[in-house]
């Protein structure tokens, strides 16, 4: 770090200090310039000494450590030593250059002590403000890094979850029909490419997420065949905005995972995407088996769904709403996100 850059505020303070206390007596009281300059040197040494000793030694070593009694005693001793030094400097200066202080030593000492206290107060206030600002920035940076690390962890957890489901689908298709398996492998490769190369950004175009969703739903259609009625609709308005990657797919995965398997009733998955007035809406429904018990804590879904809930809280906070319900053997998810 550049030396001037590191100490520029100190240099600026003392430059202003010397200019003011050297010029003010000359302009106001017509005191000789040499006299005021030499007097200011004495004040700067005494006041700077106690001020720097306080902010860089007394406060870190005693005040922060809650040794308040020792801190107060040493601070008072330092103020007295500083004031005695300045009075002695001024006395010698007056003797050397001639003239008189105009006050008794006692009055001069009290005046100097008061000046030391004011200067010390300014130094401590500046130090506390700077430390507060630095701590605030450091805290914000730590929170940002914590959030980013947590998001990366959640996204990394979703990849194994997806891989398990996709590989299991391909395994089933290989046994059923090799041609279907070949088509699935192509779509699976596209999905992996999306996860590996497209999902590193914080936000991606919704169009890319929809293409990924298209491939996944097509894969599930091939795997499930005619056993499940899949209705998938994307509004023309669902375009031209950014969204965090891999937010939609866990809800769709969850629907296919827990869809019913009635032999005599319809089994269905319905997925609708829309966007209107800067409000993106995802609606996912699936039929449920009769014998699936409702969770007491209403915490539906597995690892993937719980992770996406956490990601929504971290990324969108109050700019999203998530409603999950189960009624009349239909499991429903309604997600809305403010796109701007």
**Cα(336)–Cα(222) distance, rounded to whole angstroms?**
29
pLDDT of 74 > 90? The answer is: yes
- Sheet arrangement for strand 279-287: 229-234, 268-276, 279-287, 330-338, 320-327
| Res. 258 pLDDT band, cuts 50 70 90 | confident
154 within 8 A of 310, measured Cβ to Cβ:
yes
Residue 298 has what pLDDT? 42
Residue 121 has what pLDDT? 92
| Structure tokens given for 194 | 């999306």
**Cα(252)–Cα(216) distance, rounded to whole angstroms?**
9
pTM score > 0.75 for this model?
Answer: no
pLDDT of 134 > 60? The answer is: yes
329 within 8 A of 288, measured Cβ to Cβ:
yes
As a whole-number percent, the residues of the chain with pLDDT over 90 amount to 33
Mean pLDDT (the chain, rounded): 83
CATH domain 177-338 topology: Heat Shock Protein 90 (3.30.565)
Residue scoring higher pLDDT (222 or 14): 14
pLDDT in tens, 7-33: 788 888 889 999 999 998 888 888 888
**Cα(250)–Cα(333) distance, rounded to whole angstroms?**
11
Q: What is the DSSP letter of 263?
A: S
Residue 313 has what pLDDT? 85
**Cα(325)–Cα(330) distance, rounded to whole angstroms?**
8
pLDDT of 314 > 90? The answer is: no
Residue 142 has what pLDDT? 59
158 within 8 A of 246, measured Cβ to Cβ:
yes
**30-44, 193-207, 318-332: least confident range:** 193-207
pLDDT of 234 > 90? The answer is: yes
Residue scoring higher pLDDT (280 or 172): 280
Distance set, CA 209 to CA 5, 204, 214, 254, 278 (Å): 47, 8, 9, 17, 17
For residues 160-173, average pLDDT: 71
Residue 88 has what pLDDT? 92
Distance set, CA 186 to CA 179, 214, 226, 231 (Å): 11, 13, 22, 23
Residue 219 has what pLDDT? 78
**229-238, 272-281, 316-325: least confident range:** 316-325
23 within 8 A of 8, measured Cβ to Cβ:
no
pLDDT of 99 > 70? The answer is: no
165 CA to centre of own chain? 33
| Res. 181 pLDDT band, cuts 50 70 90 | confident
pLDDT of 230 > 80? The answer is: yes
| Res. 190 pLDDT band, cuts 50 70 90 | confident
Spans of all domains in the chain:
3-139, 177-338
């Amino acid at each position: 770090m550049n030396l001037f850059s590191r100490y520029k505020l100190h240099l600026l303070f003392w430059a202003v200090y010397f200019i003011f206390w050297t010029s003010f007596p000359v302009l106001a009281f017509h005191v000789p310039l040499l006299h005021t300059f030499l007097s200011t040197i004495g004040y700067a040494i005494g006041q700077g000494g106690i001020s720097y000793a306080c902010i860089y030694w007394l406060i870190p070593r005693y005040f922060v450590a809650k040794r308040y009694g020792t801190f107060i005693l040493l601070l008072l001793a330092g103020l007295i030593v500083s004031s005695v030094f300045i009075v002695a400097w001024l006395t010698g200066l007056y003797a050397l250059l001639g003239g008189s202080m105009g006050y008794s030593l006692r009055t001069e000492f009290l005046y100097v002590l008061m000046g030391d206290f004011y200067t010390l107060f300014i130094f401590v206030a500046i130090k506390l403000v700077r430390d507060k600002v630095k701590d605030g920035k450091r805290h914000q940076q730590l929170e940002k890094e914590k959030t980013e690390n947590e998001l990366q962890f959640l996204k990394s957890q979703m990849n194994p979850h997806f891989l398990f489901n996709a590989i299991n689908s391909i395994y089933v298709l290989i046994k059923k029909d090799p041609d279907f398996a070949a088509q699935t492998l192509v779509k699976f490769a596209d999905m992996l490419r999306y996860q590996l190369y497209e999902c590193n950004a914080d936000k991606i175009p919704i169009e890319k997420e929809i293409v990924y969703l298209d491939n996944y739903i097509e894969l599930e259609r091939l795997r499930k065949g005619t056993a499940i009625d899949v209705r998938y609709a994307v509004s023309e308005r669902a375009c031209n905005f950014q969204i965090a990657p891999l937010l939609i797919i866990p809800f769709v995965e969850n629907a296919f995972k827990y869809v019913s398997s009635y032999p005599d009733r319809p089994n269905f998955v319905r997925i609708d995407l829309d966007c209107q007035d800067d409000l993106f809406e995802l609606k996912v429904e699936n039929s449920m088996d009769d014998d699936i018990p409702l969770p007491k804590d209403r915490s539906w879904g597995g690892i993937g769904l719980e992770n996406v809930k956490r990601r929504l809280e971290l990324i969108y906070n109050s700019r999203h709403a998530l409603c999950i319900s189960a009624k009349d053997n239909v499991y429903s998810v309604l997600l809305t996100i403010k796109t701007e």
